[in-house]
Chain A
Amino acid sequence: MNDTNPRRLTIARAMAEAVQQEMQQDPKVFVMGEDIGALGGVFGNTRGLLEEFGGERIRDTPISETAFIGAGVGAAQDGMRPIVELMFVDFFGVCFDAIYNNMAKNNYFSGGNVKVPMVIMTSTGGGYSDGGQHSQCLYGIFAHLPGMKVVAPSNAYDAKGLMTAAIRDDSPVIFMYHKGLQGMGWLGTEAGATVDTPKASYEIEIGKAKVVREGTDVTIVGLAMGVHNGLRAADQLAARGISAEVIDLRSLVPLDRDTVINSVRKTGRLIVVDEDYQSYGVSGEIITSVVEHDYSILRAAPKRVAYPDVPIPFARPMEQFCLPNAEKIVAAYDAM
C-alpha cells in the first residue's frame, strides 16, 4: 500500500504503527509493560512489535507497576526513551509516586539538567460494564499535576501523530487512549475513531485542539469519546436548524485555550463534555478559561455534561445512566 491510498486504521493499530516507526529509527525507544509482548497489549496497541523487535525492546514486565514505572524514569534519565504501558489508568493508585513525584518533577528539581523523555500509555473509559476499577478516565488527576504533558486522541489519525510526537518529546507524556475507541471488537467500538491514517510518519503538535465541525450557535468541547458524543449531538441539533461547533481538545496539557475562546467568541454558548468526574476537573477548567478571559463573550451560562461524582457502577443501566451521551448534550443546549 502506498502513502497516497486511504488506509483506515483503528487507534490500536495507529498507536502500534507510530511506536514501530519510532523504534525503527531510534534504538533508544523501547516498550515495557504488562502483556505488551506476545499478547500485543490487552488493547492491541503493541500488536506485531514483539515479532519485529524481540523481547529485549518489547519487554513484558511483572505485575509490578511501582518498579517498572520507576524503572522507566531511571532509563529515561539515563538516555533511553521508554514507552511504558499502565494497562488501565485506574491502576495508577499502586504506582503514582513513581509517576508524579519522580517522572513529573525531576526535570524541574534538576533545574532542567535531567530530562525524562518517557511516555506512559494508559487506557481510559467505560461503557462496557467493567466496574469501577476498570472504567475511569481520570483525565483531571493527570492534567492537574504539573510536569506531565497529557494527550487523549479521539481517532486513529490523531493517535498516530500524537504518539509520534509524544515519543520524540523530551518531557514525560501521558498518552490516554479510550477503550471504547480502540477498535477492539470485544469492547464495542465507536466507528468514528477508525479513520484514514497515512503510513508515512508524522507528528501532531501536542497542545493543539482541533475544530472538528464548524458551527455558529453553540460550542461543544470534548476529548476522546466526548468528541463523538459531541458530533452526534451536533447532528441532532442540525436537524432542528441549530449550528453547533465541535472542538476536539486532543491535548489537556498544554491546553489550547485560544481555540476554545475563539469559538465561544463566535457562538456565545459553551457546553463541555467530559467522561471524567465532574467536580474539580476538565469541565471546570475549560469553563474557567473562557470566563476569566472575557465573561462577556458568553450569552448564556455554560453547561457541562460530565460523569457524576460517584464511583462507576457495574450494572449496565446504571452505568449508561451516568455516562455522557448525545441526548444529554442536546438537553444541556435546550436548558441554556
Chain B
Amino acid sequence: MAVPDETKLWMYKTMFLSRRFEETIEKIYLEGKTPAFNMANGPIPGEMHLSNGQEPVAVGVCAHLNAEDVVTATHRPHHQAIAKGVDLKRMTAEIFGKATGLSGGRGGHMHLFDPAVNFACSGIIAQGMGPACGAALSRKMQNKPGVAVSFIGEGAVNQGAFHESLNLAAVWNLPVIFVVEDNAWGISVSKKDSTAVARNDVRAAAYDMPGYYIENNDPIAIYDIAGEAIARARAGGGPSLIEIETFRLAGHFMGDAEAYRPAGEKESLGSRDPIPAFRALLQSEGVTSTQLDELEASAESEVAEAISFAQDSDYAPVEDALTHVFA
C-alpha cells in the first residue's frame, strides 16, 4: 500500500526524535560514570537499553495504531513508546526516577506505563505476550475496537511464553500482532547460535497464522506488512507473526563492550543507519531539505523540553516507595 505523505513525514520525525532522545539520554547517562563505570552512579542509574537503529520497526508498526490500541514492549522500549505516543515529558521523568514520571519513579526505563495510550513495557523476555493476548481478548469480549501489538526481540522466540501465546492467540482468534525485532543478538549470543530456524516467520505455520519476514530494516516495507496484519486483526481475521530484520547500533546495554561482535560489524552499521537513508528517500520523492530540517528542529525542541522537565523535577519523598502496592 502507498504510504500517505503525511505519514511518511510523521515516520521520519518520530525516528529522528527517538534517535535524538536516546543520544541525549546516552550523554546524561554517562554523567558520573567516568572514569570508572558504575551503573549506580549519575542522574540516570541502572541498566540502559538503547533502541537506536531499530526505529523503523516502531514507526512502521505504530503508524497504524491509535491511542486505544494496546502495545506491550520490552526492556528496550523507547522507540516504541515514542511512536505509540507516550507522554514524552513524563516518560523522561520516569527514566530519571522523578516524582513527575509516569509512575512517580517506581518503574524506571524498563517499566513504562501510560494508560492514556495503552502502552506498557516490562523487563523479562517474552513477558508481554500473554498480557497482549489478554488485552486482545478483552476487546473481543467487550466488542470494543482495538488490537494488541506485542513487540519482542528475536531472543524471545525460544521462551515458552512465545509459543504458548501464539497458540492461545490462534485458538481464540484474537486481534493481536506479534512483532519480532530481529537485531541478531540476544545480549551476546547470536541468533544462529540460539535458534533452530534462520527466520521465525516459519514458526507461524505451527500456529496456523500468517507469518512474515521483512528484510533490511525498511520502514516502508514494515509499514506495508504491519498495515496488512493490523487490518486483518481489526477485521476479525486473527493474529499474525512478523519478524523484522533490524539492528542495534549500540550494545545490549550501555557499558556493553560488544566484544562478541565479529570484526567490522559495528563499523559497518553506520552506513546502514535507517534515518539518513529515509531522509534521502523522502528528498528523492520531493520533500525539501527545509521541510525536513523543520521537522528535525521540532523534534529537537520536544526532546530538549522533555529533558528539562525531567531534570527540573524533584524526586518523590522516599516514603512514597511504600505506596501503591495495592490498588
Cβ B133 vs Cβ A67 within 8 A = yes
Give 8 new A-B contacts, CB below 8 A, not counting A78-B139, A102-B131: A68-B168, A71-B131, A71-B134, A73-B134, A74-B132, A80-B142, A110-B103, A110-B324
Cβ A111 vs Cβ B148 within 8 A = no
Expressed in whole angstroms, the minimum distance between the Cβ of A195 and any Cβ of chain B is 29
A-B pair number, CB within 8 angstroms: 148
Cβ B325 vs Cβ A68 within 8 A = no
Bound CA span A121–B268, Å? 54
Cβ A106 vs Cβ B120 within 8 A = yes
* Interface flag for B244 (CB, 8 Å): no
Bound CA span A68–B130, Å? 7
Residues of A within 8 A of B135 (CB): 74-75, 77-78
* Interface flag for A97 (CB, 8 Å): yes
Residues of B within 8 A of A77 (CB): 120, 131, 134-135
Which of A68, A69, A71, A102 counts the most B-chain CB atoms under 10 A from its CB? A71
Bound CA span A70–B176, Å? 14
Bound CA span A112–B122, Å? 16
Bound CA span A113–B141, Å? 23
Bound CA span A16–B280, Å? 64
Expressed in whole angstroms, the minimum distance between the Cβ of A145 and any Cβ of chain B is 11
Expressed in whole angstroms, the minimum distance between the Cβ of A70 and any Cβ of chain B is 2
* Interface flag for A139 (CB, 8 Å): no
Residues of A within 8 A of B161 (CB): 66-67, 70, 97-98
The 4 closest A-B pairs by CB, nearest first: A70-B130, A74-B134, A74-B131, A71-B134
Bitwise, B128-167 to A at CB < 8 A (1) or not (0) is: 0111111111110110000010000000000011001101
Interface residues on A, range: 35 or more
Expressed in whole angstroms, the minimum distance between the Cβ of B267 and any Cβ of chain A is 38
Expressed in whole angstroms, the minimum distance between the Cβ of B315 and any Cβ of chain A is 14
Beyond A71-B130, A108-B106, A111-B103, is A79–B138 a contact (Cβ under 8 Å)? yes
Residues of B172-217 whose CB lies within 8 A of A = none
Expressed in whole angstroms, the minimum distance between the Cβ of B58 and any Cβ of chain A is 20
Q: Can you show 5 pairs from A to B with CB atoms below 8 A apart? A: A66-B165, A71-B137, A74-B136, A102-B130, A111-B104
The tally of residues in B whose CB lies under 8 Å from a CB in A reads: 42
Cβ B122 vs Cβ A70 within 8 A = no
* Interface flag for A51 (CB, 8 Å): no
Residues of A within 8 A of B102 (CB): 110-111, 113
Cβ A171 vs Cβ B131 within 8 A = no
* Interface flag for A311 (CB, 8 Å): no
Cβ B134 vs Cβ A78 within 8 A = yes
Expressed in whole angstroms, the minimum distance between the Cβ of B24 and any Cβ of chain A is 24
Bitwise, A161-201 to B at CB < 8 A (1) or not (0) is: 00000000111000000000000000000000000000000
Residues of A40-97 whose CB lies within 8 A of B = 56-57, 61-62, 64, 66-80, 82, 94, 97
* Chain A: CB-nearest residue to B103: A111
Cβ A67 vs Cβ B124 within 8 A = no
Beyond A107-B324, A107-B325, is A66–B160 a contact (Cβ under 8 Å)? yes
Bound CA span A97–B101, Å? 25
* Interface flag for B327 (CB, 8 Å): yes
* Interface flag for A149 (CB, 8 Å): yes
Residues of B within 8 A of A132 (CB): none
Cβ A110 vs Cβ B115 within 8 A = yes
* Chain B: CB-nearest residue to A84: B134
Q: Please list the residues of chain B having a beta carbon within 8 angstroms of any beta carbon in chain A.
A: 70, 72, 101-104, 106-107, 111, 113, 115, 118, 120, 122, 124, 127, 129-139, 141-142, 148, 160-161, 164-165, 167-168, 171, 323-327
Cβ A70 vs Cβ B165 within 8 A = yes
Cβ A67 vs Cβ B167 within 8 A = yes
Residues of A within 8 A of B326 (CB): 107, 147, 149, 171
Residues of A within 8 A of B70 (CB): 74, 78
Which of B104, B106, B118, B134 counts the most A-chain CB atoms under 10 A from its CB? B134
Residues of A within 8 A of B106 (CB): 108-111
* Interface flag for A21 (CB, 8 Å): no
Cβ A67 vs Cβ B130 within 8 A = yes
Bound CA span A75–B113, Å? 15
Expressed in whole angstroms, the minimum distance between the Cβ of B105 and any Cβ of chain A is 8
Contact of A72 among B134, B148, B164 (CB under 8 A): B134
Cβ B138 vs Cβ A64 within 8 A = no
* Interface flag for A101 (CB, 8 Å): yes
Beyond A110-B113, A112-B324, is A80–B120 a contact (Cβ under 8 Å)? no
Cβ A101 vs Cβ B124 within 8 A = yes
Cβ A109 vs Cβ B325 within 8 A = no
Expressed in whole angstroms, the minimum distance between the Cβ of B280 and any Cβ of chain A is 40
Cβ B164 vs Cβ A67 within 8 A = yes
* Interface flag for A115 (CB, 8 Å): yes
Cβ B133 vs Cβ A70 within 8 A = yes
* Chain A: CB-nearest residue to B321: A108
Cβ A64 vs Cβ B120 within 8 A = no
Cβ A71 vs Cβ B133 within 8 A = yes
Cβ A106 vs Cβ B129 within 8 A = no
Residues of B within 8 A of A67 (CB): 129-130, 133, 161, 164-165, 167-168
* Interface flag for A30 (CB, 8 Å): yes
* Chain A: CB-nearest residue to B123: A101
Cβ B115 vs Cβ A114 within 8 A = yes
Bound CA span A66–B130, Å? 7
Bound CA span A106–B136, Å? 18
Residues of B within 8 A of A66 (CB): 130, 160-161, 164-165
